[in-house]
Every structure is written in structure tokens, then in C-alpha cells.
Amino acid sequence: MGWVETYRGRVDARDLGLTLIHEHVFVRNPELERNLHDEGWDEDRFVEEAVATLDRLHDLGVRTVVDLTVPGLGRDSAVVARVAERARVNLVASTGWYTPASLPLFFALNGPGRVVEGTDALTTMFVRDITEGIAGTGVRAGMIKIATDAAGFTGDVVRVMEAAAVAQLETGVPITTHSVPSTRNGLEQQEFFVERGVAPDRLVIGHSCDTDDLAYLRTLMDNGSTLGMDRFGMTHVFPDDLRLETVIALAEEGYADRMVLSHDAAVYSHVTPPAWRAAHTPDWRMDALFTTFIPRLIEGGVSQSAIDRMLIDNPRRLLEVKG
């Protein structure tokens, strides 16, 4: 077995245990916080809430949580480190850039063939985050996150994806995506990375539970990638009943070895604040799989061994790095 980098250092992949592979601790925007006051954010308060949330997950059997908050979503690893040093679960950091359409202006002017000639800052950052540590914290990233949204493969989105492919090939760390299943763009993501040498089994097509298009989902898995069934509780995007039916149907067909389960939830999000979530999406929480959705999967005929595969074996296979 290999290893996985966490906030508290490298751990043996065999020790990951039950893993939520797509969550967020804090989704923030420091520039907006400074200039358009975010009345909801209180660092000390939400550090305490994050520790309590992760400890509740530990009580429910969770041993590892992957924080997919990357730049573009307000990643602040120094603040999350305050949580990780006290929480009982392993917390895995991520690199990448959340870019639905455009990068910050810096990237338009800096890089190969640009006004300020130099190496590609994205590639440099992704590799450094994985091999040396994030922003001077010494915390090494264990996953790469990219996004392809409704705007499609814009120039900046392609630039991020190119850097992610280079970083994956250089480090072995897996890539997970933000996809829009209604457009079936997971197929484009998969093709893009495979053409650049990324093995399809090192790729998670995220948010694949936002559709019940079984033919599309089977194609992604038959091509070798894993589906991120990772938005349980997000009823404002897609009905949970259909998410459950889709996972049950695919598990019945023998695809449990190509799915991972999670929520894409956050302890605090500036985009969808806690009060809004409590009022509109009360099941969009990191414990909802265990309190609500796994019992319904089992009632629907999904075996405990298939649940373990999706929450233990598959995340371990994906996150494990050998060298």
C-alpha cells in the first residue's frame, strides 16, 4: 500500500477508513470579506463548529474527509489547519483552481508567451502544493480539483486543466472535477485528460449524481473513471430521490466499484450561508449520508459491502499514491 498526505502529515492508505471524498470546510472570498463585509464569518466561531462537525463524523464512523476547497473558493489552509490539529478525522487538502470561466487578471499577463514572460504559475503552484506544501504551511495536497461549468472549455478553464494534467502525471495525485451532467460534459473532461496521458482511473467525474442519465454515467465508468455521487442533500440542484434511484440502479448493475459518495457540503459558505442552507436545504450536511441516505440505499437493495466499497475501498484506491 501507498500513502496519502493529510493536514497532519502522511498516513498509510490502509488507515484512511471510511472517507467522504468531496466536502468543504470553509468556502470564503477574502477580497469580498475585506470590501463587502461578510457579517456571517467569524473565524473562531466557525473553527469550533468545524471541529464539532468533524468529531460528529468520527462518532458516525468517518475517518477521513477530503476538503476540496481550492483557490477560487477561498482556500485558507492556515485557518483549516487550526481545525485539523484538533479534529479526530484525517483531513486531506487539495490543490487546483475553481474556474467556471475566467482566472484572475494576473494570469492573463503572466506566463509563457505573455506580457510578463515566465513559467506557468498554475503548474508551478499545483506541483508545489503537492510536493512541498501549500502557501508556506507545509500542508501537502492530496487531490487536484478543476471545474468545467456552463461556460464550457474557455481558454482559462483549459489552462487550469492543462496544469492539472501536468501535476497529476508528475505526482500521481488524483484529479476530481466539477462537472455539469445535464450537458454530459464529464465525457469531454475525461477525453481531455486521457489525451494528455492521465489514466482514467485517476479521475473522478464530480457531481455525477446530478443526473439520472444512466447511459451517460455507464459510459464514464466503462471508460475507466469513477463517478462522484457527491451532492446528497443539494435538493436545489437535483432531487435526492432521483440521486438515490440512480445509485441503487448502478449498484445493482455491478458498478459500486466505480462510485464514491459524499455531500459537497460546507461548515461555512459565503456563497450559500448557513442560515440559507438551514432554511432551504436542511439535509445538505456532512452527516446526512449516515442519518438519512445510506439507510435508504440499503432499503433499496444496496448491500453493506457495496456501501463499504463506495465509502472505503474506492476512496482509498483513488487517494493512494505509491512511490
Interatomic CA distance for residues 39 and 118, integer angstroms: 39
State the pLDDT at residue 36. Answer: 85
Residue 84 phi/psi, 5-degree rounding, is -60, -35
Give pLDDT, residue 254.
Answer: 98
**How large is the angle between the packed helices 155-171 and 186-195, nearest 10 degrees?**
50
- The pLDDT score that the predictor gives to residue 33 is 85
The predicted structure's pLDDT at residue 39: 80
The type of residue at 33 is E
Asked if residue 97 lies in contact with residue 146, where contact means CB atoms within 8 angstroms, the answer is yes
In CATH terms, the superfamily for domain 3-319 is: Metal-dependent hydrolases (3.20.20.140)
Task: Note the pLDDT of residue 32.
Answer: 86
Rounded Cα gap, residues 58 and 151, in angstroms: 38
| This prediction's pTM | 0.97
Provide CB contacts within 8 A for 268, sequence distance 6+: 25, 26, 27, 28, 40, 41, 46, 49, 50, 274
Q: Which three cell numbers stand for residue 144?
A: 487536484
What pLDDT is stored for residue 276 in this prediction?
A: 95
pLDDT by 10s per residue, the chain, length 323: 799 999 999 999 999 999 999 999 999 998 888 898 778 899 999 999 999 999 999 999 999 999 999 999 999 999 999 999 999 999 999 999 999 999 999 999 999 999 999 999 999 999 999 999 999 999 999 999 999 999 999 999 999 999 999 999 999 999 999 999 999 999 999 999 999 999 999 999 999 999 999 999 999 999 999 999 999 999 999 999 999 999 999 999 999 999 999 999 999 999 999 999 999 999 999 999 999 999 999 999 999 999 999 999 999 999 999 97
H helices of 253-284, where?
274-280
Residue 321: how many other CB atoms lie within 10 Å: 16
For 274, residues 6+ apart whose C-beta sits below 8 A from its C-beta are: 40, 268
What pLDDT is recorded for position 38?
76
**C-beta pairs of 271-279 under 8 Å, 24+ apart in sequence:** 271/27, 273/40, 274/40, 275/40
Q: How far is it, in rounded angstroms, from Cα 13 to Cα 20? A: 14
Distance from C-alpha of 302 to C-alpha of 296, rounded to nearest angstrom: 9
Residue 71 in contact with residue 98, Cβ under 8 Å? yes
Whole-angstrom distance, CA of residue 232 vs CA of residue 295: 13
Residue environment code for 162-174, b if the CB has 16+ CB neighbours within 10 A, otherwise e = bbbbbbbeebebb
